[in-house]
Amino acid sequence: MADKLIIVESPAKANTIKKFLGGNTKVVASMGHIRDLPKSKLGVDVENNFEPEYINIRGKGDLIKSLKKEAANAKQVYLATDPDREGEAIAWHLAYILGIPEDSVCRVTFNEITKETVQESIKHPRKINMNVTDAQQARRVLDRIVGYKISPLLWKKVKRGLSAGRVQSVAVKLIADREDEIEKFIPEEYWNIYAILLDEKSKTTFEAHFYGKDDKKLEIHSKEELDVILKGVKKAKYIVKDIKKSEKKRTPAPPFTTSTMQQEASRKLGFTLKKTMSVAQGLYEGVKVQEKGFVGLITYMRTDSTRISEEARAAAKKHIIGEYGEKYYENRYYKTKKDAQDAHEGIRPTYVELEPDKIKDSLTPDQYKLYKLIYNRFIASQMSAAVYDTVAVDIKANEYNFKANGQTLKFAGFMTLYVESDDQKQETKKSKKVEVDTTLPELTINQEVKEQKIDAKQSFTEPPPRYTEASLVKALEEKGIGRPSTYSPTITTILERRYIEKEQKQLRPTELGKIVNKLLVENFGDVVNVQFTAKIEEEFDDVAEGKQQWKNVINEFYGPFKVTLDKVEKELEHVKLEYEVSDVPCEKCGRMMVIKYGKYGKFLACPGYPECRNAKPIYETIDVPCPVCGSKVQVRKTRRRRNYYICENNPKSCNYISWDKPKVGEKWDPTQNTNVGETKKTTRKRKTTKKKSTTKAKTTKKKK
């Protein structure tokens, strides 16, 4: 019989914790949730005060039996699931399954999986927090009602297989609204004037840009306006009227929250949100590090707090002073935003001495990249500000004003280690510029500088950019939609449902997404209303803090929702989907084929279905012509998802096929290039032969 049984969510976490606990202690994994609402029906009794009908998750019967047996054989059971609302709910469900009373002192949490934290947490268990559990129940039940009530309506009126969701529908609306802005955007002309000026004392040229007239800012919107200004400064003397020198400081960014980590990993590493969370989960649960064994390398990765512990602050101070010197350290505290759940720290390394490059061999390439990002961001957050010397010069040319700005980096501070990325380089006209050194010559007031050249550049205002995963997360967070744990699954879901598609990191709505969004906006305004959805999130927070009953939140929502649902079901007519027409004729009936979406992406289908069932895949093509016949080259994938390149006319009139991407002007010699088809056959034969010989060897061994 075990003295202690500790139940966590994942085997990786169990393996790490086992190493820290001596004595007769057993650590097992629940593999996530073990009870949930049934998939086959609503699972919420709307007539009986929204009582949820939880069932054991299919396929977990043997695991539940095993957990019950282990619990029966233990003197004390501790539920150590993740330290968030989802983890609290899993602990509550486990307590129910194992017959542990609700008021039992059985709950332990780890903000970081280190030996010290695990051992200390086990000494101080607590009761399951029912307020936090109820906040999770409120979200789960409300999302189930929205999804299971609206989705069948979409199947009936639009197309089978569609779904609606409280947060996902708002995310689709944001992307669709942005696309509308882009389509309706009318570019406006504007001009910039740049003067190249010479300081005769130092023989140095520098650039000044046009500012305005008579010390007032003036924008140039036409060629006519430009010509007036150029005429006004022709042969003018450029006189320095004012010089302002100052010092500018740039402070470091705070430690990561979930959303800022997702954004920065997307911008700097090119990671999707799903990948970021998966890699971070592994770093939190534990990695085998040389001389340390299994250890969690980062604190809990689902948090919207930037707070850090005093121990971590002291460790950062020691590291910075030792590595960079006293002047690089500054004790910094960061304000957590008003509506943040401050139960956890910001995301930081658990051991500052485990520098990324020292443990690189213990990590996968992706783990190393993300760990280094988290590590450097945390250390930089406790470093001194970067200091710039700046100079701003006002120059007069007749009644017109020009300005020249210069700056030099005086002290790098935190920028020695880490600089935060912008959301996107051209996200808005007001986006931050990269801070580079621009030196101006030593000028004096009333000094004349000579015009060397004057340039004018015509530009047009640009529409707002499409969202990327990073900027969508930022928008959702700023508007109070969802919580750190919901961003990744939300974006994954709407991509999988084909409501949006990704083009070179940019998110845009599909035709299907536009239709579903329009239907929801016109008929279920509250469900896709940003302010309403944010208000619901605040009410979930109130439930978690014990300020409100969770069933009251559901009841307040359900009344008006049910009235709308009944009305839409009666009045909404069938919505016909308009498919994008391609330029490819159907070989069987001559109709122009349309683009549809299937399990594996886009494909061409005849619009004459069901009379004509012709369909064929859409292949990606490259911008290099076939080296043999000059036709288009398609990119295809083997069963193992490896790319190969093939002429669109293969095998009809061209035999080009290659593992290597063709180059412009390159001649193809089939005798020097491995044929894809042959390679596959050869590999298959080799595998079969190997299998046979192994079997034969086993038989011989048995006889002996």
Q: Which residues are catalytic?
A: 300
Spatial separation of the C-alpha atoms in residues 496 and 453, rounded to whole Å: 55
Checking DSSP bridges between strand 25-29 and strand 2-8, what pairing results, if any? Answer: parallel
Total Cβ atoms within 10 A of residue 547: 10
Strands laid side by side in the 633-637 sheet? 620-621, 633-637, 643-647, 657-658
**Residue 386 in 3-state DSSP?**
strand
Cα distances (Å, whole numbers) of residue 539 to 139, 166, 482, 602:
10, 14, 12, 41
Q: If you ran DSSP here, which 8-state letter would residue 674 be given?
A: -
CB 619 within 8 Å of CB 635: yes
Rounded Cα gap, residues 609 and 630, in angstroms = 34
Q: Which tokens in the block code for residue 203?
A: 């023989």
Contacts by 429-432, CB closer than 8 A, 24 or more apart:
429/461, 429/462
* SS3 annotation, 174-235: HHHHHHHHHHHCCCCEEEEEEEEEEECCCCEEEEEEEEEECCEECCECCHHHHHHHHHHHCC
Tokens of 275: 């990948």
- Residue 616 CB coordination number (10 Å): 13
How far apart CA 586 and CA 615 sit, in angstroms, is 9
